[in-house]
Structure formats: C-alpha cells, structure tokens
C-alpha cells in the first residue's frame, strides 16, 4: 500500500504527526538526560553496581540451573 494512500485515509493526520513529533522529542530528551547522568562520576558507578546486582539476582532466582563462575 502506498504511504500517500495511508495518510489520506487517516482522518486525524495532525494528531498522528503531533504524537510522532512528541515521541521523537521525548526520546531525544531522555537520551540527553541519560548521557548527562552518565557524565557524573559517582552516579555512573552506582548505576554500574545496580546493574551488576540486578544481573546476579536475576541469574540466581530465574536461572538457578545455570552455573555461575564466580
């Protein structure tokens, strides 16, 4: 199906385009926030420890049959 025909059949073109633009702006803003937090030295280490802890907890509780080599 041709994209022009798809857009022609959508009766709320402005609403769809507004939501699409808002989604792109939200994604761009969240990437900026995450990169700004990542630049802070203490918070980046805390996130690293949280990630390591989460991966260990999930491997222990959800995959107990897989051996851990620690």
pTM: 0.48
Query: Is residue 4 a part of any domain in this protein?
Result: no
Query: Is residue 54 a part of any domain in this protein?
Result: yes
* Number of domains composing the chain: 1
CA nearest 68: which of 30, 57, 40? 57
Chain centroid offset of residue 37 CA: 15
Instruction: Give the side-chain half-sphere CA count within 13 A for 32.
Output: 6
Query: Is residue 70 a part of any domain in this protein?
Result: no
Q: How do residues 4-57 score in pLDDT, each as one tens digit?
A: 777 767 767 778 888 999 999 999 999 999 888 878 777 778 888 888 888 887
CA nearest 10: which of 26, 18, 22? 18
Structural domain span for residue 32: 12-62
Query: Is residue 30 a part of any domain in this protein?
Result: yes
Q: Alpha-carbon distance 7 to 22, whole Å?
A: 18
Query: Is residue 1 a part of any domain in this protein?
Result: no
Q: What is the pLDDT of residue 22?
A: 97
């Amino acid at each position: 199906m041709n994209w022009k025909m798809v857009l022609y059949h959508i009766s709320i073109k402005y609403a769809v385009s507004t939501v699409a633009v808002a989604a792109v702006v939200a994604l761009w803003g969240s990437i900026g926030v995450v990169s700004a937090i990542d630049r802070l030295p203490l918070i980046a280490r805390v996130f690293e420890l949280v990630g390591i802890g989460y991966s260990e907890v999930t491997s222990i509780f959800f995959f107990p049959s897989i051996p851990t080599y620690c």
